[in-house]
Amino acid sequence: MGYGINETGQFVPEDWWQIVFNPSFPYRLVHMVLAAYLATALVVGGVGALHLLRDRADAVAGRMFSMAMWMLIVVAPLQIVAGDFHGLNTLEHQPAKVMAMEGHYDSHPDGAPLILFGIPNAHEKRIDYAVQIPKLSSLILKHDLNAPLAGLDTIPDADEPPVTIVFYSFRVMIALGFAMLGLGGWALWCRWRGRMLAGRWLHRATIVMGPMGFVAVLAGWITTEVGRQPFTVYGLLRTSDSLAPVAAPAMAASLTAFVLVYFFIFGAGTFYLLRMMNMPPATRHLGLKDAPNRTARAGKPPAKAIPGE
Ligand code: HEM
């Protein structure tokens, strides 16, 4: 959709709207927006948890933590469901990517197992030490335990994505998705028992999970981009044929400039943000001498509204 092949066999974009709003667009949009919510909630929750560990009566930190934990318990299950739908769409449009994600070197005519863990062996084209659940992959991807699933043995070697990277990055993303759900569930349980703002281990775990939204986003992105190799446009345009006619020194110079500029901008930004996160929540900056309500309980807003809220 939205492209043509010219007389010399080259891929030529024709309608950018069709290319942008391609069949995977809605799935990617939903999955990415939910990923952004989760990553943000984890940072907010992690900062709240840090300040609760220092002072469990800090009402502003308590509110940050509470809101973040609500976000996790609502959005993490949605993300898992959205991810599942996304995978079905990928199976339809980029089957080799799913074969690599699943670690299916071989085809399974009578139902494919779900490989939970294992070590991809690219030379022998198999997954070593695989821990797997029989037929579950067919159930997830085809909604039928015995549905046949094609493996990488059905595609030419030259069209095979780098399985090892995709296999691991996919598992990192999934594991973190379930860890987010677990954290949200743990917080809900503590909230129900009235101990959410006092749970030291819950707070420590949330600090550890603080950056994990970014890690999951990067793992998802790697799965997507490495999984479609060796193509820039799946099945149509090889990455090796997508090179722009720009000389290597020019590329090297612009890459170096990017690396340097980004290093300084992100370095300064990260330093500034970490310093801000380390400061107690901004009751003073908001014009209050002390926390508005130091006895605020889990999930309940402080008695006095904070200016600006
Ligand atoms: C736990 C269940 C999850 C499932 C089943 C799942 C499924 C998927 C699949 C199948 C893809 C690749 C699709 C493709 O390229 O065609 C993907 C990509 C991605 N995932 Fe997940 N995912 C899950 C959790 C997460 C979480 C928790 C995050 C981040 C917080 C995340 C962020 C991403 C991102 C950023 C991409 C790349 C999207 C793109 O570039 O289009 N995923 N996910």
- Distance (Å) from CA 109 to ligand 1 centroid: 27
- Distance (Å) from CA 31 to ligand 1 centroid: 6
CB-CB contact of 120 with 170 (8 Å)? no
Q: Is the pLDDT of residue 198 over 80?
A: yes
- The verdict on the CB of residue 176 being under 6 Å from ligand 1 is yes
What's the half-sphere exposure (Cβ side, CA atoms, 13 Å) at 197? 22
Domain contains 65: yes
Q: Is the pLDDT of residue 295 over 50?
A: no
Same domain, 84 and 182: yes
Least confident of 6-20, 203-217, 289-303: 289-303
Domain contains 68: yes
- Distance (Å) from CA 159 to ligand 1 centroid: 22
- Smallest Cα–Cα separation from 46: which of 285, 277, 305? 277
- Smallest Cα–Cα separation from 160: which of 226, 243, 93? 226
- Distance (Å) from CA 94 to ligand 1 centroid: 14
Q: Is 46 exposed, middle or buried (0-12, 13-18, 19+ CB in 10 A)?
A: buried
Domain end, chosen from 240, 265, 287, is at 240
For ligand 1, pick from 97, 173, 233, 234 the residue to mutate: most ligand atoms within 8 Å of CB: 173
- The verdict on the CB of residue 219 being under 6 Å from ligand 1 is no
CB-CB contact of 69 with 191 (8 Å)? yes
Domain end, chosen from 149, 166, 181, is at 149
CB-CB contact of 216 with 172 (8 Å)? yes
- Distance (Å) from CA 223 to ligand 1 centroid: 8
Which residue CA neighbors atom 20 of ligand 1 most closely? 220
Which residue CA neighbors atom 8 of ligand 1 most closely? 83
**DSSP track, 255-273:** HHHHHHHHHHHHHHHHHHH
Look-up: residue for tokens 């994990």?
212
- Distance (Å) from CA 199 to ligand 1 centroid: 31
Domain end, chosen from 149, 181, 210, is at 149
Same domain, 22 and 123: no
Q: pLDDT tens digit string along 258-284?
A: 999 999 999 999 999 999 999 888 665
At position 70, the amino acid (one-letter code) is W
Same domain, 52 and 73: yes
Paired with 237 in beta bridges are 233
Q: Would you place residue 42 in the very low, low, confident or very high pLDDT band (cuts 50, 70, 90)?
A: very high
Q: Would you place residue 168 in the very low, low, confident or very high pLDDT band (cuts 50, 70, 90)?
A: very high
Domain contains 163: yes
21 lies in which domain range? 3-107+155-240
Largest CA distance in the chain: 74
- The verdict on the CB of residue 71 being under 6 Å from ligand 1 is no
Domain contains 286: no
What's the mean pLDDT when you consider all of the chain?
90
Compute the distance between CA of residue 13 and CA of residue 113 in angstroms, rounded to an integer: 39
Atom number, ligand 1, closest to the C-alpha of residue 180: 27
Same domain, 175 and 191: yes
pLDDT at 306: 41
How many H helices and E strands in the chain? 9, 6
Same domain, 52 and 145: no
Domain contains 188: yes
Same domain, 43 and 138: no
For ligand 1, pick from 33, 214, 224, 228 the residue to mutate: most ligand atoms within 8 Å of CB: 224
Cα angle: 6, vertex 10, 11; to 5 degrees: 95
Same domain, 101 and 169: yes
- Distance (Å) from CA 197 to ligand 1 centroid: 31
**Domain count of the fold of the chain:** 2
Same domain, 7 and 132: no
Same domain, 80 and 167: yes
For ligand 1, pick from 81, 84, 86 the residue to mutate: most ligand atoms within 8 Å of CB: 86
- The verdict on the CB of residue 174 being under 6 Å from ligand 1 is yes
Domain contains 287: no
pLDDT above 70 coverage of the chain, percent: 91
Same domain, 132 and 213: no
Q: pLDDT tens digit string along 70-88?
A: 999 999 999 999 999 999 9
- The verdict on the CB of residue 86 being under 6 Å from ligand 1 is yes
> Average pLDDT in the 142-162 region?
94
Compute the distance between CA of residue 186 and CA of residue 122 in angstroms, rounded to an integer: 39
Q: Is the pLDDT of residue 137 over 50?
A: yes
Same domain, 61 and 8: yes
Domain contains 273: no
Which residues, 6 or more positions from 80, have their beta carbon under 8 angstroms from its beta carbon? 177, 178, 181
Residues in the chain: 309
pLDDT at 304: 45
Same domain, 127 and 202: no
Domain contains 290: no
